[in-house]
Amino acid sequence: MTEPAIRLLLADDHPIVRAGLRALLETEPGLVVSAEAATAEEAVARAAEGDIDVVLMDLRFGPGMTGAEATAVITARPDAPRVLIVTTYDTDADTLPAIEAGATGYLLKDAPPEELVTAVRTAAAGRTTLAPTVADRLMNRMRMPTTALTLREIEVLVLVADGLSNRAIAERLHLTEGTVKSHLARSYTKLGVDSRTAAVATATDLGLIRR
């Protein structure tokens, strides 16, 4: 008996990327590209129709919902499709929110075609595939939990890198200014630094945040 085809939704704001993914995946037996989405909001709406098995999700779509936010909405529904992140970004600021949102896998766009195809089939089966750099970083966080920044600490440092003041960060994240200062203080200790500039530089060097 023939296995039913794995139905895919391609969510990426670049038409060329979607076309490339479609051209690659549709040559594979048992894979069918059922739909495309140019925004995260479109991906959420299309995935809710119930006929998609795996969503290939980018992380950044410009203004509006992010790929990680869309992943959280999609995976929260009953009988949700699997979400495989396919992106160019592999910092903790990118990977952690996506994985916490419920992504089944995380692959980089420079992965070999055969690796992408395998990741799609693996995601459809409910198993996890992680890009080697992502897997290494997660393992390092497990080995060194006392020095690993929390997701909130990373969020604060990303906004510091964007030039926001403590007050502006507090407003953006709906925190008190004192809580922001506490997150920064803990980040300084973990990173072995004593200033905002040094914290941003060190976090960037370690691949925790992007610049």
- The string over 18-51, giving b where at least 16 C-beta atoms fall within 10 Å of a residue's C-beta and e elsewhere, is beebeebbeeeeebebbbbbbbbbbbbebbeeee
Single pTM value for the model: 0.73
All structural domains of the chain: 6-140 (3.40.50.2300), 151-205 (1.10.10.10)
- For 54-84, write each residue's pLDDT tens digit: 999 999 998 889 999 999 999 999 899 999 9
Tokens standing for residue 207: 């691949």
> What's the rounded Cα separation, in Å, for the pair 83 and 150?
23
Tokens standing for residue 193: 């630094």
In this predicted structure, what is the pLDDT of residue 1? 55
- Report the first-to-last Cα separation within the chain, whole angstroms: 51
